Chain A
Amino acid sequence: MSEEQSIDIEKVADLARIALTSQEKSKLSGQLDSILEYINKLNELDTDNVEPTAHPHSVFNVWREDKAEKELPIEEALKNAPKQRQNMIVVPKVVE
């Protein structure tokens, strides 16, 4: 963890796809900086030879057999869609 971890709020908010007002930006970066400063506490710990924990229990190979179960009826699947046409969800043009 770097010592000067002033967060690039612009860039991170863009990655997170959240539009922020300039007030929100300045308030948030202050708060996040102090949270990160606190989090840097973890640097006190030597974890060189420690395995990371991704799951609380060490379990492997939990799977299902390849059997088709039932789908959602189409009207259920689309009932919350903000906008639909021809049984598909309308989205604004994707700019690539």
Chain B
Amino acid sequence: MGDELHFKSAGELSDLLSSGSVSSVEIVQSLVERVGSVDDRVKAFNSFDAEDALAQAQASDDRRAKGESLGELDGIPVGLKDNLAVKDQPLTCSSKILESFVSPYDGTCIQKLKANGAVLWGRLNMDEFAMGSSTENSGTHTTSNPWDLERIPGGSSGGSAAAVGACETPISLGSDTGGSIRQPASHCGVVGLKPTYGRVSRYGLAAFASSLDQIGPIARNIDDAALLLNAISGYDPHDSTSYNIDVPDFRKAAADDSDRKWTIGLPKEYLEESSDSAAIKPVLDAIEFYKSQGFEFKDISLPHTEYAVATYYIIATAEASSNLARYDGIRYTKRADDFDGKDSIDVYHQSRALGFGEEVKRRVILGTYVLSSGYYDAYYLKAQKCRTLIRSDFENAFESVDAIMTPTSPTPATLKGAHAEDPLAMYLSDIYTIPANLAGIPGLSIPCGYVDGLPVGLQILGKPFKEDEILRVGRVFEAAHGYKDEHPEL
């Protein structure tokens, strides 16, 4: 059974651990082997420390032996996107400028995972500073889609989604600023959840765009996503923007199969946009399935959808230009060597020129421009106002529906290099995921079928802080379909 452990979900592993039929060390050993055999092709990891993971697993087993288990997550490996601060571990954001940075502190999510006994398992690749939708903007390497190694895994949490899809970790954490959890989850055939803004503390998440960023779980099934969400949710006094609201037991809520009448909104703007999209067929089939289960569907309008991408690229790049100013070669980031005799201005210019990749430079410069003197009102303020319109589209829609369904991405995973010279085309591919970040609402992507052998995701958007509801809705589909048990041939 040992060599099969890496295929098991976190929930199954948790049961095996508590029944004593498997140890955390065995689980980690199985993952170490799995990574050894597939990651030269998938390349999900930036780094991992097998010895350290085994030591964490041993500590978990010791706790369990003494009857001091910390709960469902104790001994379960969790992969981490490489933008989360873990004390004494590298934190690179897949950027050259942070390539030798070692975090001196734990972020809040990490503290919570540690308190739950989870085994922190490796650092997963991403687009540099989470800017991108393919991991091709990583400063280290491009991760491959486990379903087709010639294709991108999506991004920016591409490593987190690919590692779960390739069974190199049962669950992982990603971060989502404009779709960075949901889109790679959909490309890699796994479940990804962007929680409501404020549900999960951002303390310890290297910021891309502070008013949009949110950490969330990636998993092979909804139960696992709920399990991980349970562990990381909640108000945090170290993050002013985390929201002080009760945290339900998401695992229990997702498993709730009592009768409830659901009304689901279908936004006409999304469906029009995607009518000729390659990914639409499985999504329409999924909607038919829901109808057959008694779900009521309602055509709704989110009239400002077409402005979301423009709004997003102003707000996200403006915030990023300021958030990334700290990476300057002075305090802790890599400094361009030959500064002697030069002044600090040269150090900034050279360190940032060498340390940042092309996409980061592009966005930092765009963000600097939209905030610069004479342009603030025309761009930034304008975008903040458009953001209000997009938010109220959702508020209005949620007055008559419980959740909204859309495709997660206009296409299944594309071939690597498809958008290399056309950043705008890449930005536009986030059209379905970006509005949820602007509105701050939760969004879930679940595997709903394949197109030409490539997984496709169904996105379910919910009301603020109603992650429990969208998990429950997603579970209805998942329970009737076998996607969660399907793994790519590697």
Q: List residues of chain A with CB under 8 Å of any chain B CB.
A: 1-2, 7, 9, 12-13, 15-20, 24, 28, 31-32, 34-36, 38-45, 47, 50-57, 59, 62-64, 72, 76-77, 79-83, 89, 91-95
Interchain CB contact (< 8 A) of B335 among A31, A64, A82? A82
Kindly provide the distance from the CB of B219 to the nearest chain A CB, expressed in whole angstroms. Answer: 24
Task: From B310, B331, B356, give the contact of A81 (CB < 8 A).
Answer: B331
| Chain A residue at smallest Cβ distance from B358 | A24
Q: Which of B61-69, B130-138, B337-345 contacts the other chain?
A: B337-345
**Once the chains bind, are B386 and A47 in contact (CB under 8 Å)?**
yes
- Assembled-state Cα–Cα distance A15/B211 (Å): 23
Check if B434 is an interface residue, CB within 8 A of chain A: no
Task: Tell me which residues across on chain B come within 8 A of A36, comparing CB atoms.
Answer: 366, 369
Known A7-B369, A51-B385, A56-B440; judge A41-B310 contact (CB<8 A).
yes
In angstroms, Cα B382 to Cα A41, docked, is: 11
Q: Closest 7 A-B residue pairs measured CB to CB?
A: A56-B440, A52-B384, A80-B332, A47-B385, A17-B348, A82-B335, A19-B349
What residues of chain A lie closer than 8 Å to B361, measured between beta carbons?
Answer: 18, 20, 24, 28
A51-B388, A53-B385, A80-B102 known; 11 other A-B pairs, CB under 8 Å? A16-B352, A16-B364, A17-B345, A18-B361, A28-B362, A28-B365, A31-B423, A57-B198, A57-B243, A80-B101, A89-B330
Q: Are B100 and A80 in contact (CB under 8 A)?
A: yes
Q: Which chain A residue has the least Cβ–Cβ distance from B310?
A: A39
Roughly how many angstroms separate A1 CA and B383 CA in the complex, as a whole number?
12
Q: Is the CB of B366 within 8 A of A57?
A: no
* Cα–Cα distance between A82 and B329 once the two chains are bound (Å): 7
Q: How far is the CA of A82 from the CA of B97 in the complex (A)?
A: 11
Contact (Cβ within 8 A) A89 B348: no
Shortest B135–chain A CB gap in Å is: 20
B381 adjacent to chain A (CB < 8 Å): yes
* Nearest chain A CB to B455 CB, angstrom units: 29
Residue of B307, B328, B366, B391 with most partner-chain A CB within 10 A: B366
Inter-chain contact B321/A56, CB cutoff 8 Å: no
B398 at the interface (CB under 8 A from A): no
Within the complex, which residue of B241, B321, B378, B386 is in contact with A1, where a contact is CB–CB below 8 Å? B378
How far apart are the CA atoms of A20 and B381 in the complex, in Å?
Answer: 28
Contact A50 B385 (CB under 8 A): yes
Q: Are A17 and B334 in contact (CB under 8 A)?
A: no
Majority SS of interface residues in chain B? helix
Q: Are B382 and A47 in contact (CB under 8 A)?
A: yes
Closest to A49 in B: B385
Look across to chain B and name the residue whose beta carbon is closest to the beta carbon of A32: B366
The residues of A that contact B241 with a CB separation of less than 8 Å are: 55, 59, 62
Contact partner, B102, options A24, A38, A56, A79, Cβ 8 Å: A79
Q: When chains A and B are docked, how far (Å) is the Cα of A25 from the Cα of B360?
A: 14
Residue from the set B331, B369, B381, B427 with the largest chain A CB neighbour count within 10 Å: B369
Chain A CB within 8 A of B389 CB? yes
Report yes or no: A62 in contact with B101, Cβ–Cβ below 8 A: no
Measured between beta carbons, the chain A residues less than 8 angstroms from B121 are none
For A53, A80, A95, the residue with the greatest tally of chain B CB atoms inside 10 Å of its CB is A53
Total number of B residues with any Cβ neighbor in A under 8 Å? 71
Given A19-B350, A31-B423, A53-B391, the answer on whether A12 and B306 have CB atoms closer than 8 Å is no
- Report A-chain residues with C-beta under 8 Å of the C-beta of B313: 35, 39
In the complex, the answer to whether A77 meets B104 with C-beta atoms within 8 Å is yes
A-B contact pairs, 10 of them (CB 8 A): A2-B378, A9-B365, A12-B365, A19-B350, A41-B310, A45-B385, A47-B382, A56-B440, A81-B331, A92-B342
CB within 8 A of B352: which of A1, A19, A24, A57? A19
B368 at the interface (CB under 8 A from A): yes
Min C-beta distance of B329 to chain A, whole Å: 7
Bound CA span A18–B347, Å? 10
Given A28-B362, A56-B439, decide whether A35 and B424 contact each other with a Cβ distance below 8 A.
yes
User: Cβ of B387 and Cβ of A1 under 8 Å apart?
Assistant: no
Q: Does B346 contact A (CB under 8 A)?
A: yes
Q: Contact: A56 with B385, CB < 8 Å?
A: no
Rounded to whole Å, the gap between the CB of A70 and the closest CB of chain B is: 11
B197 within 8 A of A: yes
Report the separation of the CA atoms of residues A59 and B243 in the bound assembly, to the nearest whole angstrom: 9
**Contact assessment for A53 and B388 in the assembled complex, using a CB-CB cutoff below 8 Å:** yes
Q: Which B residues are CB-close (under 8 A) to A32?
A: 362, 365-366, 369
Closest to A18 in B: B352
Q: Which residue of A lies closest to B361 (CB)?
A: A18
The answer to whether A15 touches B307, judged by C-beta atoms less than 8 angstroms apart, is no
| Distance (whole angstroms) from the CB of B422 to the closest CB of chain A | 8
The answer to whether B314 touches A72, judged by C-beta atoms less than 8 angstroms apart, is: no
B residues near A39, Cβ cutoff 8 Å: 310, 313-314, 379
